[in-house]
Amino acid sequence: MIQLRLLGGVDLVDPHGRGELRSVLVQPKRLALLVYLALAGDHRFRRRDTLVALFWPELDSEHARGALRQSLRFLRGELGSDALVSRGEEDVGVSRERVQCDAADFDQACEAGDWAAALALYRGDLLTGVHIADISAEFEHWIDGERGRLRRRAAAAAWSACGDAERAGDLVAAAPLARRGVELAPDDEAAVRRLMRILDRKGDRAGALRAYEAFREHLAVAFQAVPSPETEALLANIRARDVRIWESPLSGWPPGPSS
């Protein structure tokens, strides 16, 4: 099976393990077409009129359809004749039996509630560090939308897995999942507070304070803003608990007067 990896970069590996299919990777528009077809979702097909409008808007209908036919012929030649499938005369898609796409598998894992599998697949944002030249603004807009959707879904998966761990009373497992949830959605202040509470309950108050400091610095740099009063109140509560423990007679500190 051909492996199409889109999360955390882009890679296309042939089914026999002979390495990358460079012939496709170096064809920006045809690679973009393959990506668009692979991420068609549950319907798995795209309309030809949609494809020509998205990828060849500068051409008239006849020439645009000819360019599409040529590109599909190229992809079938490089990936195998059964890698792309048709439904009627107008619908085109990628065969899930011949081409395995990590982003599509990620969506399926999320639908099934398999958070561990989803998070293992999400190695980074869609097409991280990849610039596909000679592509329409509409396609770039679609890529940005898909990138944001998948990232939000990965954050939700991390928090769902974290919630499962919390309900099982496993704060050791919940803490790294909460950290990942915050990493994936660094602007979500409620998520930062949840991370702080989990770390506090786990007994890692220093970690909770570091999570606050990291968020405060992020707000200052990204938005020239400060944490909300609710977050500041949580911070004060954690710090006060530290002081109470530090000053507890059972802690042995501070030392009493020497005899």
The answer to whether the beta carbons of residues 76 and 83 sit under 8 Å apart is yes
Tell whether 91 and 169 lie within a shared domain: no
Residue 56 included in any domain = yes
Whole-angstrom Cα distance, residue 248 to residue 239?
14
What pLDDT was estimated at residue 21? 87
Q: Give the count of beta carbons closer than 10 Å to the beta carbon of residue 113.
A: 12
Where is the domain boundary, 58, 89, 121?
121
Tell whether 23 and 69 lie within a shared domain: yes
| Greater model confidence, 90 or 18 | 90
Tell whether 12 and 57 lie within a shared domain: yes
Whole-angstrom Cα distance, residue 187 to residue 167?
25
State pLDDT tens for residues 149-195. Answer: 999 999 999 999 999 999 999 999 999 999 999 999 999 999 999 99
What pLDDT was estimated at residue 44? 85
Residue 153 included in any domain = yes
What pLDDT was estimated at residue 258? 43
Residue 252: is its pLDDT beyond 80? no
What pLDDT was estimated at residue 163? 98
Residue 135 included in any domain = no
What pLDDT was estimated at residue 256? 46
Q: What is the mean pLDDT of residues 60-78?
A: 95
User: pLDDT class for 95, splitting at 50, 70, 90?
Assistant: very high
Q: What is the mean pLDDT of residues 129-149?
A: 87
What pLDDT was estimated at residue 70? 97
Q: What is the mean pLDDT of residues 65-77?
A: 96
The pTM score is 0.88
Domain residue limits at 161: 145-251
What pLDDT was estimated at residue 242? 62
State pLDDT tens for residues 105-135. Answer: 999 999 999 999 999 999 999 998 877 777 7
For residue 168, give the DSSP letter: T
Q: What is the mean pLDDT of residues 229-235?
A: 98
Domain total in the chain? 2
State pLDDT tens for residues 13-31. Answer: 987 655 678 899 889 899 9
Q: What is the mean pLDDT of residues 188-212?
A: 97
Task: Round the average pLDDT of the chain to a whole number and report it.
Answer: 90
Tell whether 80 and 173 lie within a shared domain: no
Q: What is the mean pLDDT of residues 211-238?
A: 97
| CATH number assigned to the domain comprising residue 238 | 1.25.40.10
What pLDDT was estimated at residue 137? 87
The answer to whether the beta carbons of residues 132 and 33 sit under 8 Å apart is no
Pure H helices in the chain:
22-25, 28-38, 48-55, 61-79, 102-111, 115-121, 137-167, 171-184, 189-202, 205-223, 229-247
Residue 42: is its pLDDT beyond 90? no
